């Protein structure tokens, strides 16, 4: 290999007298060439890309910020997959394209994307544009930090710590705890299952489950599907997730939980954790945490609260009662990217433990990253708490918006969203052809739309069968018109119904009225 190098290096004895500081971007007299590649001077000059970046930023501002959030514009420009593929010219080729073409590609990508920041996007558990958080995310994308070590991400390491501390304070863990931001609530729930398991059986980390007893966990039938995914991934098995019945409002029934725990024990299985949900995905229900905590204490089970969606209520003096008892949880998942509108993704996993359980459970002590002979306090190198290696500093997106808005404004937003949900529920009850599943407790409003042709039918399986087909058609028409986005789903034995999610202060009571009018307009002929 050395001889190849010498052959290619044409002027290796040429004296190097350029100052590396001053001359490195200028042409040099003494070319360095290896393997036919000239190596003097950079071949990518960011300065030269400034014009492109500025033009692209102007397009983003115009199309992806202003137009995307303008209530007079469409929420989506529907295009079926095959047609969109052609429009976008997706193929990746050998030759690059002109910058003007790339700018057009940005415009097209924005045009045909769903505007999740539009005031009439009610389809998911996140919505809206948060300017401060968005700016924070731009800073992150430009700087490309990764959160394993203090050395590489000093600012964001400290911000993560500060945000986690504040979130723990809101939960009521007065003595603090530990935590980590990660790539979504599903991962937070997965962390919870792993930590609970490690807490009960630390040997499993090394020895695996094949020699372990059958571990069993408990969650309600209304929980997020990530609990089941975590059980599958972690080798616990989905059948070892015992599903606790919920009441009519979607809340876990504590007595049913206790019965299941006893049943599992009598089968010789080892119960190790309970997942309580604070804000279920479909109904927005809150499991009774206090009563569940009592049962967990009695049976020595780890209590995890999936508050990804409902955690925001902790910001509100008026609504935090929904999570009463959450301070008794061993761990909590809470996504500020949902109700609190931090830029996607912003998901915290919090642990009450103060014995470094998170790190002990996940550490692999990579010597190339977590050297112990560094010149600073390596307890700031938080990467070994994570199952990821590169990890984005998502906490900054929440930190900056909190600094800008203060807890008081965050509280007002939560209060307003929940008041808006009540307003919508009330309007639904007033209008003919709309039927509420239940009074909302949080920001999910679930309802059926009954077209005039079905309104006089008796409440029978036939009616529900017909009703089941209404929401999908209304949804199709809604998407094709692009006027708004509202989700629908079947749920248990319930026929397809709409689920409105209210989050953003960009939406108003007029938008709620519009949603009901529009559903009627789209579906009245069905």
Nearer to a second copy, 352 or 499 (CB): 499
Q: DSSP assignment, residue 376?
A: S
Q: How far apart are CA 188 and CA 177, in angstroms?
A: 15
Interface segment toward a second copy; rule CB under 8 A; list 142-150, 250-258, 297-305, 449-457: 142-150
Per CB under 8 A, 521 contacts a second copy? no
CA-based nearest residue to 313, from 345, 340, 289: 340
Is the separation of the CB atoms in 83 and 41 below 8 Å? no
Per CB under 8 A, 377 contacts a second copy? yes
Per CB under 8 A, 337 contacts a second copy? yes
Question: What's the min distance (Å) between Cβ of 38 and a second copy?
Answer: 9
Per CB under 8 A, 7 contacts a second copy? no
Question: What's the min distance (Å) between Cβ of 519 and a second copy?
Answer: 13
Question: What's the min distance (Å) between Cβ of 209 and a second copy?
Answer: 4
Per CB under 8 A, 14 contacts a second copy? no
Which of 11, 12, 290, 297 forms a contact with a second copy (CB under 8 A)?
A: 12
Nearer to a second copy, 295 or 521 (CB): 521
Which of 192, 260, 276, 282 forms a contact with a second copy (CB under 8 A)?
A: 282
Please give the residues from 46 up to 65 whose contact with a second copy meets the rule CB under 8 A: 46-47, 49-50, 52-54, 56-57, 60-61, 64-65
Please give the residues from 242 up to 271 whose contact with a second copy meets the rule CB under 8 A: none
Which of 296, 418, 443, 450 forms a contact with a second copy (CB under 8 A)?
A: 418
Per CB under 8 A, 37 contacts a second copy? yes
Q: DSSP assignment, residue 130?
A: -
Per CB under 8 A, 359 contacts a second copy? no
Nearer to a second copy, 295 or 495 (CB): 495
Is the separation of the CB atoms in 523 and 466 below 8 Å? no
Per CB under 8 A, 27 contacts a second copy? no
Please give the residues from 114 up to 133 whose contact with a second copy meets the rule CB under 8 A: 114-117, 119, 123-124, 126, 128-129, 131-132
Element (H, E) at 230: helix 226-233
**Sign of dihedral through CA atoms 72, 73, 79, 83?**
positive
With tokens 């036939």, the residue in question is 462
Question: What's the min distance (Å) between Cβ of 293 and a second copy?
Answer: 25
Which of 10, 11, 29, 88 forms a contact with a second copy (CB under 8 A)?
A: 88
**DSSP secondary structure string for all residues of 447-489:** EEE--GGGTTS-SSHHHHHHHHTHHHHHHHHHHHHTS-EEEEE
CA-based nearest residue to 352, from 168, 131, 159: 168
Q: How far apart are CA 346 and CA 415, in angstroms?
A: 21
Using CA atoms, how far residue 286 sits from 79, 132, 276, 359, 458, in Å, is 38, 30, 8, 30, 33
Per CB under 8 A, 278 contacts a second copy? no
Please give the residues from 306 up to 325 whose contact with a second copy meets the rule CB under 8 A: 318
Nearer to a second copy, 224 or 352 (CB): 224
Question: What's the min distance (Å) between Cβ of 287 and a second copy?
Answer: 18
Q: How far apart are CA 475 and CA 27, in angstroms?
A: 61
Please give the residues from 147 up to 176 whose contact with a second copy meets the rule CB under 8 A: 150-159, 161-163, 166
Q: How far apart are CA 251 and CA 274, in angstroms?
A: 14
Using CA atoms, how far residue 144 sits from 140, 147, 156, 390, 520, in Å, is 6, 10, 11, 10, 47
Q: DSSP assignment, residue 385?
A: G
Nearer to a second copy, 92 or 456 (CB): 92
Question: What's the min distance (Å) between Cβ of 451 and a second copy?
Answer: 17
Question: What's the min distance (Å) between Cβ of 326 and a second copy?
Answer: 19
Nearer to a second copy, 293 or 486 (CB): 486
Per CB under 8 A, 464 contacts a second copy? no
Per CB under 8 A, 355 contacts a second copy? no
CB neighbour class for 417 (10 Å; exposed up to 12, middle 13-18, buried from 19): buried
Interface segment toward a second copy; rule CB under 8 A; list 11-19, 246-254, 286-294, 454-462: 11-19
Interface segment toward a second copy; rule CB under 8 A; list 197-205, 257-265, 291-299, 320-328: 197-205
Nearer to a second copy, 151 or 353 (CB): 151
Is the separation of the CB atoms in 284 and 440 below 8 Å? yes
Question: What's the min distance (Å) between Cβ of 425 and a second copy?
Answer: 8
Residue 286 structure tokens: 């809150």
Q: How far apart are CA 442 and CA 280, in angstroms?
A: 10
Which of 403, 455, 465, 524 forms a contact with a second copy (CB under 8 A)?
A: 403
Q: How far apart are CA 279 and CA 310, in angstroms?
A: 4
Ordered alpha helix ranges (H), 116-172: 131-143, 154-171
Q: Is 501 helix (H, G, I), strand (E, B) or coil?
A: strand
């Amino acid at each position: 290999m050395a001889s190849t190098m010498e052959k290619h290096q044409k002027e290796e004895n040429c004296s190097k007298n350029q100052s590396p500081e001053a001359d490195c971007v200028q042409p040099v007299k003494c070319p360095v060439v290896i393997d036919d590649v000239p190596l003097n001077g950079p071949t990518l000059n960011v300065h030269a890309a400034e014009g492109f970046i500025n033009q692209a930023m102007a397009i983003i501002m115009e199309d992806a910020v202003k137009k995307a959030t303008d209530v007079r514009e469409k929420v989506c420009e529907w295009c079926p997959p095959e047609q969109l593929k052609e429009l976008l010219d997706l193929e990746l080729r050998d030759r690059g394209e002109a910058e003007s073409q790339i700018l057009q590609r940005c415009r097209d990508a924005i045009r045909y994307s769903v505007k999740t920041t539009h005031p009439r996007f009610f389809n998911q558990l996140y919505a809206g544009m948060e300017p401060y958080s968005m700016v924070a995310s731009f800073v992150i994308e430009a700087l490309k930090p990764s959160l394993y070590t203090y050395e590489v991400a000093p600012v964001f390491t400290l911000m993560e710590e500060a945000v986690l501390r504040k979130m723990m304070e809101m939960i009521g863990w007065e003595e603090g705890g530990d935590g980590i931001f990660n790539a979504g609530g599903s991962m937070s729930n997965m962390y919870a299952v792993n930590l609970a398991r490690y807490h009960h059986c630390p040997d499993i980390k090394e020895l695996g489950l094949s020699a372990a007893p059958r571990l069993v966990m408990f969650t309600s039938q209304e929980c997020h599907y990530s609990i089941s995914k975590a059980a599958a991934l972690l080798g616990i098995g989905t059948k070892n997730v015992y599903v606790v019945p919920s009441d009519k409002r979607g809340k876990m029934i504590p007595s049913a939980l206790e019965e299941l725990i006893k049943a599992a024990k009598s089968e010789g299985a080892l119960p190790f954790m309970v997942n309580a949900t604070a804000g279920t995905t479909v109904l927005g229900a809150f499991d009774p945490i206090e009563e569940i905590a009592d049962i967990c204490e009695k049976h020595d089970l780890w209590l995890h609260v999936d508050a990804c969606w409902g955690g925001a209520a902790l910001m509100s003096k008026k609504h935090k009662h929904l999570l009463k008892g959450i301070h008794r949880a061993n761990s909590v998942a809470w996504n500020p990217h949902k109700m609190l509108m931090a830029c996607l993704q912003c998901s915290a996993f919090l642990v009450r433990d103060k014995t470094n359980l998170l790190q002990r459970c996940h550490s692999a002590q990579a010597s190339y990253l977590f050297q112990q002979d560094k010149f600073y306090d390596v307890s700031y190198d938080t990467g070994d708490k994570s199952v990821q290696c590169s990890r984005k500093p998502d906490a900054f997106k929440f930190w900056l918006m909190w600094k800008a808005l203060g807890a008081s404004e965050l509280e007002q937003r939560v209060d307003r969203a929940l008041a808006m949900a009540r307003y919508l529920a009330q309007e639904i009850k007033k209008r003919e052809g709309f039927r509420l599943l239940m009074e909302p407790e949080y920001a999910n409003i679930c309802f059926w739309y009954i077209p005039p042709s079905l309104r006089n039918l008796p409440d029978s399986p036939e009616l529900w069968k017909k009703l089941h087909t209404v929401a999908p058609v209304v949804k199709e028409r809604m998407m094709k018109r692009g006027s708004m986005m509202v989700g629908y789903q079947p749920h248990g034995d319930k026929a397809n119904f709409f689920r409105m999610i209210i989050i953003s202060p960009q939406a108003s009571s007029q938008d709620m009225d519009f949603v009901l009018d529009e559903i009627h307009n789209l579906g009245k002929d069905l």
